[in-house]
Amino acid sequence: MAAAQSLPALPMSKVKPGRVVAWTLLFIGGVIMVTPLLFMLSTSLKDASQVYDLRIVPAAPTLENYWQILGDGRFLRWLANSTIVALSVTVSNVFFDSLVGYTLAKFRFRGRYIVFVAILSTLMIPTEMLVLPWYLMASQFGWLDSYWGIMFPGMMTAFGTFLMKQFFEGVPDDFLEAARIDGLNEFTIWWKIALPLVTPALSALAIFTFLGNWTAFFWPLIVTTSAELYTLPVGLSSFAVEQSIQWEKIMTGASIATLPTLIIFLFLQRYIVRGVMLAGLKG
Amino acid sequence: MATIDIDRLVKAYGRTQVVHGIDLSIRDGEFVVLVGPSGCGKSTTLRMIAGLEEITGGQIRIDGRVVNELQPKDRNIAMVFQNYAIYPHMSVADNIAFGLYRAKLSKAEKRARVEQVAQTLGLTHLLDRRPSALSGGQRQRVAIGRAMVRDPAAFLFDEPLSNLDAQLRTQMRIEIKRLHHKLGTTSVFVTHDQVEAMTMADRIVVMRDGHILQVGTPLELYEKPVDVFTARFIGSPTMNLLPANLREDKAVLAGGGSVAVPRTVAPSSDILVGARPQDLVPGPATDGGLTVSGTVAVVETLGSETLVHLEEGGQTVIGSAPGRQIPAIGEHLTLHAPADRLYYFDKASEKALAAR
């Protein structure tokens, strides 16, 4: 007790000035990020006459837009299209990027470095420049206005390959050699041993790819012409026709479209944060 | 169980040759330890036996069958790695069962084999655990279990004890040795630790720069090293080597004094006289033996014995005193080694001059 009494009393709260600055900046950042989302949600709860009333809390909130949108067969079709595209591209990326990344990381063969640099160099080319050759390719092969046309440019990415290669390099060769001695073939070693060891990277890759494709707008807009093949972002943009932009519909659709993203983030934020930290780039 | 024969084995990476045509025959059921410093080619040799490295030249036969072109899985060998290589995403039972991946056994038979191995290694209560929940020693036992479960022709160990602490290393050393006695499986063990080599091996293979320097039982290597490298590598602390000049039947030491040289020692003018610290003890000088006097610079008290570092004329000589006899630093001390405990090497070639 004597010892305890002799200890100096701790201040009730010890807030460092640096922390106050950090919290303030984070708060401002948070407001900037969240406000558009709040407006989106708020507008989705207004009817057409209130759209330009900028109050966050609608004067007469209504779910009418949601019933209309969900009752509209086109919206559900776009939702399904986006789901098909985003899931297919994600599965394809997780499979092929990790397979190629593994090969580049763990096998010694002539030309390995050149292949890697060639793949990596495509990261330097902006998407806008690639759209033209993609379009010509899709046109030549008859892929315009098809699911495959929307998906093919993203089925395998240089970023994913690079990410997976970096991760596989961290997997000790002993694991693979032990499996080789135990009698597994090379594909099974990749599938049963190597892949489970890079689950954090796979999760990060899957999340990035899914979100990237879920929100993709530019290429699906170019490659699709029929409304039944639109993905959600392209379909929503069709609510904005000349002279009549149906903001409340667009915002309702966007609110619904944001839901999967939010759910993914809520459940997998641990992987997203780790993935961003590990990849050191791209969100 | 199997014999392993290595004939003129060569390994080269590009133009750099790392194993230079070595020959070695390992008998059925033998425990052979490849020992040498880093980069001596011991692990490369083991990996070539396993099939994890391609063979540049020569031949490897397991049980008489040439395996040069065979995949690792077709050689019927099992390997235990330095960092255990047990799969973190699988339970202990699954890890051990992985050794039976290619075995055409029913699930029940596999389970029975896994349980049998787990019992032998004292892992039964850990079968459902993940490797992350195991200690280093337990992990290494799982790795050994995975190797054992297949009942392979030979076990290959690649420095399996290096990652363990000193106490656990001693314990695992004994366990592996006991297991070898029980199973009688041919084993090749790679280490850079001469204590491991001495305590575990039926025969030791000393390697340096991709060559085999000497093959023999631990005692043969200790008693009759063929060169300075083996003499200094085997035994702890390392052997003292004193430069001397051979004159008829005497070696005149550079630091003063002389020792009698047996007639069997081949003539060579500049030689090195070797004495193991355990043989260099305080006491009365014996006829023809080595006498070294100097100032005590360092004393290492080990309990069972005391190592004494003597300094004389810029040279340090290590001797030993009984455990309870601890000389004072700065004290002048004289140590003696009997003539029949001395070693002689040619200074230029570093080869032993004769069998003692």
For B273-300, write each residue's pLDDT tens digit.
Answer: 999 999 999 877 777 788 888 899 999 9
B102-108 contacts: CB < 8 A, separation 24 or more? B102/A182, B102/A183, B102/B73, B103/B150
Amino acid identity, residue B230?
T
Is the minimum CB–CB distance between B315 and chain A shorter than 8 Å? Answer: no
Residues A48 and A135 in one domain: no
Residues A77 and A198 in one domain: yes
Q: Please report which confidence band the pLDDT of residue B61 belongs to, taking 50, 70 and 90 as the band edges.
A: very high
Residues A96 and A51 in one domain: no
Non-local (6+) Cβ contacts of A120 within 8 A are A158, A162
> In this model, does residue B262 exceed pLDDT 80?
no
Q: Please report which confidence band the pLDDT of residue B55 belongs to, taking 50, 70 and 90 as the band edges.
A: very high
Sequence ranges of the domains in chain B = 4-231, 237-346
Is the minimum CB–CB distance between B99 and chain A shorter than 8 Å? Answer: yes
Closest CA to B275 of B241, B229, B227: B241
> In this model, does residue B53 exceed pLDDT 50?
yes
A175, A181, A199 ranked by CB distance to B72: nearest: A181
Predicted confidence at residue A277, as pLDDT, reads 66
Interface with B, mutate which of A110, A175, A182, A190 (most B CBs under 10 A): A182
Q: How far apart are the first and last CA of chain B?
A: 37
Chain-wide mean pLDDT for chain B? Answer: 90
Quote the tokens at residue B262.
Answer: 């047996």
Non-local (6+) Cβ contacts of B13 within 8 A are none
Q: Give me the residues of chain A with pLDDT under 70, please.
A: 1-13, 242-243, 274-283
Range B237-346: architecture per CATH: Beta Barrel (2.40)
Non-local (6+) Cβ contacts of B325 within 8 A are B282, B306
If one looks up domain B4-231 in CATH, what number appears? Answer: 3.40.50.300
- Say if residues B24 and B188 touch (Cβ distance below 8 Å): no
Nearest chain A CA: its distance from B216 CA (Å): 29
B309-320 average pLDDT score: 89
A183, A196, A199 ranked by CB distance to B101: nearest: A183
B89/A175 Cβ within 8 A = no
Residues A52 and A105 in one domain: no
Which residues from A are below 8 Å from B84, CB to CB? 174
Which residues from A are below 8 Å from B78, CB to CB? 181
Nearest chain B CA: its distance from A179 CA (Å): 8
Higher pLDDT, B95 or A52: B95
B-facing residues of A in 190-249 (CB < 8 A) are 193, 196-197, 199
Domain stop point among A8, A42, A62: A62
Residues A82 and A159 in one domain: yes
Amino acid identity, residue A185?
N
Q: Render pLDDT for B226-254 as a digit per residue (tens, 0 to 9).
A: 999 999 999 989 999 999 888 877 888 88
B118-140 average pLDDT score: 91
Residues A176 and A236 in one domain: yes
Q: Which of A268-282, B12-26, B163-177, B218-232 has the lowest mean pLDDT?
A: A268-282
Residue A245 pairs with which residues in a beta bridge?
A240
Residues A25 and A129 in one domain: no
Which residues from B are below 8 Å from A196, CB to CB? 87, 89
The interface pTM score, or ipTM, of the predicted complex is 0.81
Domain residue limits at A207: 72-279
Domain stop point among A28, A62, A96: A62
Quote the tokens at residue B155.
Answer: 């076990």
Q: Give me the DSSP letters along B232-287.
A: HHSSSSPPEEEEEEEETTEEEETTS-EEE--TTSPP-SEEEEEE-TTT-EES---T
Predicted confidence at residue A8, as pLDDT, reads 58
Closest CA to B341 of B277, B282, B270: B277
CATH number of domain containing A188: 1.10.3720.10
A-facing residues of B in 145-184 (CB < 8 A) are 146, 150
B111-124 average pLDDT score: 91
Residues A154 and A265 in one domain: yes
Predicted confidence at residue A3, as pLDDT, reads 45
- Per the document, the length of chain B is 356
Higher pLDDT, A16 or B206: B206
Question: CA angle, A211 as apex, A209 and A217 as ends, to 5°?
Answer: 100
Question: Are both B4-231 and B237-346 of the same fold?
Answer: no
- Say if residues A203 and A268 touch (Cβ distance below 8 Å): yes
Q: Render pLDDT for A29-62 as a digit per residue (tens, 0 to 9).
A: 999 999 999 999 999 998 888 878 888 888 888 8
B77, B83, B84 ranked by CB distance to A181: nearest: B77
Is the minimum CB–CB distance between B219 and chain A shorter than 8 Å? Answer: no
In total, the C-beta contacts within 8 angstroms joining chain A to chain B are 51
Residues A56 and A193 in one domain: no
Asked if the structure places residue A12 within a domain, the reply is no
B52, B82, B83 ranked by CB distance to A180: nearest: B52
Q: Please report which confidence band the pLDDT of residue B8 belongs to, taking 50, 70 and 90 as the band edges.
A: very high
Pairing of strands B57-62, B65-66: antiparallel
Residues A38 and A89 in one domain: no
Asked if the structure places residue A57 within a domain, the reply is yes
Residues A119 and A195 in one domain: yes
Q: Render pLDDT for A149-195 as a digit per residue (tens, 0 to 9).
A: 999 999 999 999 999 999 999 999 999 999 999 889 999 999 999 99
Closest CA to A206 of A71, A60, A92, A44: A92
- Say if residues A122 and A116 touch (Cβ distance below 8 Å): no
Strand order in the sheet with B203-208: B77-80, B154-158, B186-191, B31-35, B203-208, B211-216
Count of domains observed in chain A:
2
Q: Give kind and range of the element (H or E) at residue B53.
A: none
Backbone φ and ψ of B290, nearest 5°: -95, 130
Is the minimum CB–CB distance between A70 and chain B shorter than 8 Å? Answer: no
A197/B72 Cβ within 8 A = no
B52/A183 Cβ within 8 A = no
Backbone φ and ψ of B306, nearest 5°: -125, 125
Is the minimum CB–CB distance between B79 and chain A shorter than 8 Å? Answer: yes
Asked if the structure places residue A9 within a domain, the reply is no
Q: What is the DSSP letter of A190?
A: I
Quote the tokens at residue B181.
Answer: 């006695």
Closest CA to B121 of B104, B99, B101, B105: B99
Domain stop point among A31, A62, A93: A62
Residues A50 and A95 in one domain: no
Percent of chain B at pLDDT exceeding 70: 98
B157-185 average pLDDT score: 89
B81/A177 Cβ within 8 A = yes
Predicted confidence at residue A1, as pLDDT, reads 41
Which residues from B are below 8 Å from A199, CB to CB? 89
B122-137 average pLDDT score: 91
- Find how far residue B202's CA is from the centre of its chain: 11
